[in-house]
Structure 1
Amino acid sequence: MTRPLLISGVLLLAGVVHLLPLLGVLGAARLEQLYGLRMEDPNLLLLMRHRALLFGLLGLLLATAAFKPAWQGLALLAAWASVLGFVLLAPSGLLPALQRVWWIDVALLPFLALASWAYLSAPRTS
């Protein structure tokens, strides 16, 4: 597999993973299904819907960067911040739905490492 193809494939994969929570914008029922948490507090619902929107924007950036090499460095950095941030911030004893999210992020880490290596070791043109 060529470096550009590897980078693009990982960015597409990370983009899809980050686009999935966008469905949470639709409301409490979808968020409860995604995360296994009750969304009874309207303030929590607002925050989680906003989080879903931001994940959608991040997913769009990642997926778009798969086809725009000039964006790939920024997109990889954003993916690392999102994925590693959640993995490191998550406490033990998560609810099953959140534990699934944690494992998905853990599974993305080696792919991000490979894509980052491919990106950083690729020859640069001025």
Structure 2
Amino acid sequence: MWIDRLTTALLVIVGAVNLLPSFVALAPSRITTAYGITVDGADAADLTVLLRHRAVLLGLVGIGLLCAAFIPSLRVPAMVAGAVSMGTFLLFAYATPGLNSATMRVARIDIAALALLAVAAVLVWRKAR
């Protein structure tokens, strides 16, 4: 019983971490706050569209993880999607020199969320045995 409750709590936390940036899709003025960059200049429209699209995709991952918190049959695919999403961001972030402090803050948050997701995965695996 405690394994189920802990797994649910972990998936809710990781889902929320992924869902929060999705508000950039509806409020592109928050891009500067979220990522520490300005979207001015010649490529501003392109960058804004790309970041808003990223926000939608993160929202989908977040919703999937939140649903998986309460629907056990969704847990494995949602956790895989979350791990791939956060893992690739971390790979890109740490392979790219010169990122600003806001982007590195996002990377640190993703490290923590990925660790929580790993704990949830172990709990799901343990229960399935």
The aligned counterpart of 2:88 is 85
Match status 1:94 vs 2:105: no
Match status 1:63 vs 2:41: no
Q: What is the deviation of 1:85? A: 1.4
TM-score norm. by structure 2 comes to 0.87
Is there any run of 5+ residues in structure 2 with no aligned partner, and where?
none
Q: What is the deviation of 1:18? A: 0.7
RMSD: 1.6
The amino acid that maps onto 1:68 is: I
Q: What is the deviation of 1:123? A: 2.9
CA distance in 1, matches of 2:105, 2:72: 31
Q: What is the deviation of 1:39? A: 1.4
CA distance in 1, matches of 2:19, 2:76: 19
The aligned counterpart of 1:34 is 34
Q: What is the deviation of 1:3? A: 1.8
Structure (1/2) with the larger helix percentage: 2
Q: What is the deviation of 1:110? A: 2.2
Match status 1:120 vs 2:107: no
Q: What is the deviation of 1:66? A: 0.4
Is there any run of 5+ residues in structure 1 with no aligned partner, and where?
none
CA distance in 2, matches of 1:27, 1:38: 14
Q: What is the deviation of 1:101? A: 0.3
TM-score norm. by structure 1 comes to 0.89
Whether the 8 Å CA contact 2:17–2:113 is kept in 1: the answer is no
Q: What is the deviation of 1:33? A: 1.2
In the TM superposition, what whole-angstrom CA distance separates every residue of 1:46-67 from its partner, at most 9, and x where no partner exists? Answer: 1111111111111111111100
The amino acid that maps onto 2:17 is: V
CA distance in 2, matches of 1:109, 1:85: 11
Which residue of 46, 49, 56 corresponds with 2:49? 46
Number of equivalenced pairs: 124
